[in-house]
Structure 1
């Protein structure tokens, strides 16, 4: 460990307690107590500042205490296993932009999901956001603030008066401007390290989607129109390119979320879910939705939009870090009234799926929800 640099996670308060007892942390469910030798423990922790190498820490402690190198190494490893410190491969003062990302790094390290390594992983990701309305714009901003290095924004819509009260990124001064321009400006004001590209485009074919998602590591589908067809277009393009994708929807009472990944065996896709719902009644329902020509108003509030976008991004982060990767073949629902997540609908990969199956069926559903390649 001579060339490693232990760095204590400074969200954990360290203080002496009763009878030579050292207490670490103040979290409701994560407090560690160590009995005896509190001076040694305090010195060890203070040495783990991310600048001292293990060799330097060892020398400092052995001058003051009669303790072996193996014992010091053992305790540092135990602290690391408890997510109390992070083992760096270089001093913290040699890490680019560390002070900007200090809070993120500390959170990631204390959560046991990577610290600096996770920040580096996120900084190398390219995520495409299709649709920059209320949900997509807030998802894009949160991804940038998590440390995602490259974002590609696609939307052809402009900011309107009725967008303002359910979104926090647009102002009345933005009315008439393209949403992708406003979202990019907002992101760069908060994370200038993020590389943001944009396209003012309405995607109506699979080929158009393919051109936008090329080289992406993840795709977020935040488009809601045309219903079902928008999701099918993105789903088909992502499967052709083997790109994992996320689909999120919002209603007045709840939000829904679906993860798809063509790189994992036996994982279904959007069309698999639709196939399982296929029936005469479902086809009639889809026709009603598709043929409705009345004016619909998005009935929602910013509070719900922020709940939805935060839930979606946190589920994605847990998946990427494998803290909770059990997200496949499930349509999730988040209730805005009870603040509860439910597994709303389970489904499976379908051999008759027109996108990921091998025995395509000719249901009328695919004519009703026809997509252009």
Structure 2
């Protein structure tokens, strides 16, 4: 039995007895219907989630002249215009519904056909791997846990230091000297009691068995930059690419610039090797004469960059909208508060993703 309801973020106005105005608060879109008293009574009945049978009964109780066909056609029109959403009646009682209610309302704005509760349930069933629990990774896993993902795999061999406290949100003075994976596991369980957190207290190196860490996951987010994002991205991406797992390589930040993406979906987008080749081509005439010893950072920049990646991960996992960082890299200017996106083309001779793309086209 289907359950219907009007979107929580929608405002409805009646203009005399001429028009009914629907204002979508999230994007300020407005739809205008001709005034009809029977239609208005339908809207009032649907302020609360009800089954089709209940809606028909209550509308006809006040307006006996309205037929069942009139009501179902009106609901169909409201669904098409994104005013009403529908979900399975069983899902209105999913675990943690009250906890995620505002987020479910948010998802309703993106996909009325599936409905926010179904999208939330899909998200909660996903398994995310976070590699690196520093200035980016600690924020990413926090946001994804708040979003309701219930299974995480985390990898980091570091301990909490006092210098971490200015930009890594999950740590306090009481945690100094403790293993980051242990602290994060405890804090995430406090945020989301349903979350399962598997830990790997190891550093990520070239010879680390990343395949066993990421195997069976739905997304992998690399948040490490030592010895360099280029190198760590290769280690993580090769494993995720082999296992056909979507993955995001976070570039972190450098001074006032935050680096965003890319998002890599094996068989659909370019691979990390193509991206590295593009970056190396851009700087082929540059010669390093002094390397940076330490880069400044601040918590607000870390959180912004990390949450852009977390939002991208949610889009990948739920398909509520196209991930924006596919085949792109981005720069967030913290001073000017703007984002620049740069397209990256596939290397036609790439032995990894060009072959995968050909296989996809054949299918």
Dislocated runs of 4+, deviation >6 Å: none
Instruction: After superposing the two structures, state which structure 1 stretch, 123-132 or 4-13, moved more.
Output: 4-13
Structure 2: state its 5+ residue gaps: 356-363
2:61 corresponds to which residue? 63
Distance 1:182 1:38, change over 3 A: farther
What are the Cα deviations for residues 281-338 of structure 1, in whole angstroms up to 9, with x where unaligned? 64975x768xx5x7x3341111111111121222333344251245322212222223
TM-score (norm 2): 0.86
> Which residue among 305, 310, 315 is the counterpart of 1:313?
310
Work out the CA distance in 1 between the residues paired with 2:234 and 2:75: 51
- Alignment of 1:252 onto 2:252: no
| Equivalent position to 2:267, from 263, 282, 289 | 263
SS in 1 for 2:98: helix
Q: Against the structure 1 CA distance between its residues 239 and 16, is the aligned structure 2 distance closer, same or farther, given a 3 Å change threshold? A: same
Structure 1, 90-99 or 143-152: larger mean CA deviation: 90-99
How far is 1:234 from its partner?
A: 0.5
CA shift for structure 1 position 122 = 0.7
Tell me if the contact between 2:151 and 2:197 (Cα under 8 Å) persists in the aligned partners: yes
CA contact (8 A) 1:83 1:111 kept: no
**1:26 and 1:48, CA in 2 relative to 1: closer, same or farther beyond 3 A?**
closer
Aligned length: 347
Offset, 1:68: 1.7
Q: Cα deviation per residue 1:136-195 (whole Å; 9 max; x = unaligned)?
A: 111111111222221111111111111111122211111111222222222222211222
Matched residue of 2:10: which SS?
Answer: coil
CA 334–319 in structure 1, closer or farther in 2 if over 3 Å, else same: farther
Q: Per-residue deviation at 1:103?
A: 0.8
Tell me, in whole angstroms, the C-alpha distance in 2 between the residues paired with 1:164 and 1:122.
30
RMSD: 2.6
CA distance in 2 between counterparts of 1:18 and 1:344 reads 50
How does the TM-score come out when normalised to structure 1?
Answer: 0.84
Q: Does 1:130 find its partner at 2:131?
A: yes
Q: Which runs of 5 or more structure 1 residues have no equivalent in the other structure?
A: 359-373
Task: Give the secondary-structure state (helix, strand or coil) at the position aligned to 2:160.
Answer: coil
State whether residues 127 and 151 of structure 1, in contact with CA within 8 Å, keep that contact through their aligned partners in structure 2: yes
Q: Secondary structure at the match of 2:209?
A: helix
| Structure 2 equivalent of residue 53 of structure 1 | 51
Change in Cα spacing, 1:17 to 1:195, as seen in structure 2 (3 Å) is: farther
Partner of 1:100: 99
Measure, in 2, the Cα distance between the counterparts of 1:84 and 1:191. 31
- Offset of residue 79 of structure 1: 2.1
Counterpart in the other structure of 2:360: none
Q: Counterpart in 1 of 2:215?
A: 214
Q: Map Cα deviations across residues 180-214 of structure 1 (whole Å, 9 max, x no partner).
A: 22222222222112222211111213551111101
Aligned to 1:139: 140
Report which stretch shifted further, 9-18 or 180-189: 9-18
Q: Mean Cα displacement is larger for which, 267-276 or 118-127?
A: 267-276
Deviation at 1:255, TM superposition (A): 1.8
Pairs within 5 Å for 1:178-217 = 178-205=179-206, 208-217=209-218
For residues 133 and 350 of structure 1, do their structure 2 counterparts lie closer, same or farther at Cα, with a shift above 3 Å needed? farther
Q: 2: CA distance between counterparts of 1:281 and 1:40?
A: 63
Q: Deviations over 1:19-62 (max 9, x none)?
A: 46444336261233444235742443433522x31012112112
Distance 1:245 1:350, change over 3 A: farther
Q: Is residue 298 of structure 2 the alignment partner of residue 301 of structure 1?
A: yes
- Alignment check: 8 A CA contact 1:44 1:61 kept: no
Report the CA distance shift for 1:288/1:260 in structure 2 as closer, same or farther (over 3 A): farther
CA distance 1:226–1:17, change in 2 (3 Å): same
- After superposition, the Cα gap between the structure-2 partners of 1:19 and 1:45, relative to the gap in structure 1 and judged at 3 Å, is closer
Distance 1:138 1:349 in 2: 33
Relative to structure 1, the CA distance from residue 18 to residue 72 in structure 2 (aligned partners, 3 Å threshold; closer, same or farther) is same
Change (3 A) 1:254 1:175: same
